[in-house]
Amino acid sequence: MQPVMDVASLESFLASDFPQVNDGGKAFHVVSVAPGSATMRLDAAERHLRPGGTVSGPTLFALADVAAYVAILAHIGPVALAVTTNLSINFLRKPLPGPLFAQARILKLGARLAVTEISITNGADGDVVAHATATYSIPPRLR
């Protein structure tokens, strides 16, 4: 499956339709789009940390969700009403402060549902810090 949106168009879509993603300063970045996948980077700031200086679970969850959304939109186009129906995440190790990368891979892209898996890695050492699966509902297209 070939992408229909590139990095620039995805960044523009997020900025216009979902400005809250980067409310308080740009932290989420679309890095790349490839057939069946997309990669996001999170530049974790102070607002993303929990006590002890690690990136918070809710921040990792958000990164997984946005990465899945971007991977799907890259392949179906700018469908703002595609919504998460399920997201399950496993936190594997403490994320280091600094950039985190989320690689989202589409497992199934149907007319009404899309299923993805997301691996989140530390930018510093490449260790996987979380693994998630997400299912999105795709609204019917008007003809």
Is residue 80 very low, low, confident or very high in pLDDT (cuts 50, 70, 90)?
confident
Quick check: is 110 in a domain? yes
CA–CA distance, 18 with 29 (Å, rounded to integer): 13
Quick check: is 79 in a domain? yes
- Is residue 101 within 8 A of residue 55, CB to CB? The reply is no
Q: Which distant-in-sequence residues (6+ apart) come within 8 Å of 132 by Cβ?
A: 61, 64, 68, 87, 88, 89, 90, 117, 118, 120
Q: Which has more confidence, 50 or 70?
A: 70
CA–CA distance, 19 with 69 (Å, rounded to integer): 15
Query: What are the pLDDT digits (tens) for 12-28?
Result: 999 999 888 777 778 89
Quick check: is 1 in a domain? no
In this prediction, residues 63-87 reach a mean pLDDT of: 96
- Is residue 39 within 8 A of residue 101, CB to CB? The reply is yes
What pLDDT sits at residue 104? 98
Quick check: is 142 in a domain? no
Residue 88 belongs to a domain with what CATH number?
3.10.129.10
Is residue 53 very low, low, confident or very high in pLDDT (cuts 50, 70, 90)?
confident
Strands 99-109 and 113-122: antiparallel
Q: Cβ-count burial of 3 within 10 angstroms (0-12 exposed, 13-18 middle, 19+ buried)?
A: buried
What pLDDT sits at residue 19? 85
Structural domain for 13, as ranges:
7-137
pTM: 0.94
Task: Indicate whether 143 pLDDT > 60.
Answer: no
Number of domains the chain contains: 1
Quick check: is 19 in a domain? yes
Quick check: is 2 in a domain? no
Quick check: is 89 in a domain? yes
Is residue 142 very low, low, confident or very high in pLDDT (cuts 50, 70, 90)?
low
Quick check: is 109 in a domain? yes
